[in-house]
Amino acid sequence: MFNIVAEIVRGLFTTLKHATHEPVTIQYPEIKRPVRYRFKGRHELKRYDNGLEKCIGCALCAAACPADAIFVEASENTDEERYSPGERYSSTYEINMLRCIFCGYCEDACPTEAIVLEDKYELSFVDRESAIYTKEMLIVDVPINGISTPQQVEPGAFDRSIPDMEDPK
């Protein structure tokens, strides 16, 4: 009996000790904790340093996607209107965020490392239409010193269907 009371009193003082600690809560909308290195958040379509898009519209990501969330429509590049260093580029690139399971298979499948699951995780929407993220929403900004797509390039500068991984030209 005495033992029970002593233990309860000890428990009371343990909680009291904790009352002096600083709260561990992070005030979320104001303070955002950085995500982990391998966090899989919203996709981003990357660019090369010169501004060309890495995506060549091969649709391997769409093929790899187990949830069938990705839709890619490719078009031909021309030297007057060049989007990517390859033969083709994605004229339409849509990811349905209601279907996406953030497995990262698209990232693995991509031959040019164009699609990367990055750190953005605030993906709420109020209707089904806004669940579809288009290419404009997914693609990153043109880097400094880069030129926005479509670029006009000299004929014959890009001759590979799948470009080298390093910065082309």
Partner 1 sequence: MTPGQLALRTLLVGFIITFTVITGFAYTTLLERKLLALLQVRVGPNRAGYIPIPRRGKSELKLLGGVMQPAADAVKLFFKEDPTPAMVEKVTYNLAPALTVIPAILILAVIPWAGPMKIFVSEFTPYFAIAPGLNIAVLFILAVTSISVYGVVLAGWASNSKYAILGGIRASAQMISYELALGLTVLIPIMLADSMDLGDIVMAQQGPLGPIHWFVFRQPLAALVFYIAVLAELQRAPFDLLEAEQELSAGFNVEYAGMRFGMFFMAEYMKMISFSAITAVFFFGGYDGPFVQQVPALGFLYMIGKIFISLCLMIWLRASTPRYRYDQLMALGWKVLFPISVFNFILVAVFIILHQEGLLNFLPAFLLGG
Residue written as token pair 């880097």: 143
Instruction: State the amino acid at position 86 in one-letter form.
Output: G
Shortest reach from residue 28's CB to partner 1, in Å: 11
Judged by CB under 8 A, the chain residues 61 through 120 that form the site for partner 1 are none
Nearer of residues 16 and 144 to partner 1, judged by Cβ? 16
Residue 97 is given by DSSP the state T
CB 112 within 8 A of CB 55: yes
Instruction: State the amino acid at position 43 in one-letter form.
Output: H
Beta bridge partners of 53: 47
Binding residues for partner 1, rule CB under 8 A, total 16
Binding to partner 1 by residue 126, rule CB under 8 A?
no
Shortest reach from residue 16's CB to partner 1, in Å: 7
Binding to partner 1 by residue 30, rule CB under 8 A?
yes
Among 22, 122, 136, 166, binds partner 1 (CB under 8 A): 22
Shortest reach from residue 90's CB to partner 1, in Å: 42
Which two tokens mark 144?
Answer: 């400094």
- Alpha-carbon 151 to chain mean position: 24
Shortest reach from residue 56's CB to partner 1, in Å: 45
- Residue range at the interface with partner 1 (CB under 8 A); choices 12-20, 68-76, 88-96, 107-115: 12-20
Among 3, 15, 124, 145, binds partner 1 (CB under 8 A): 15
Beta-sheet pairing, 88-96 with 70-76 = antiparallel
Beta bridge partners of 132: 96
CA-nearest of 121, 63, 64, 71 to 95 is: 71
Residue 131 is given by DSSP the state G
Among 2, 3, 8, 129, binds partner 1 (CB under 8 A): 8
Nearer of residues 1 and 144 to partner 1, judged by Cβ? 1
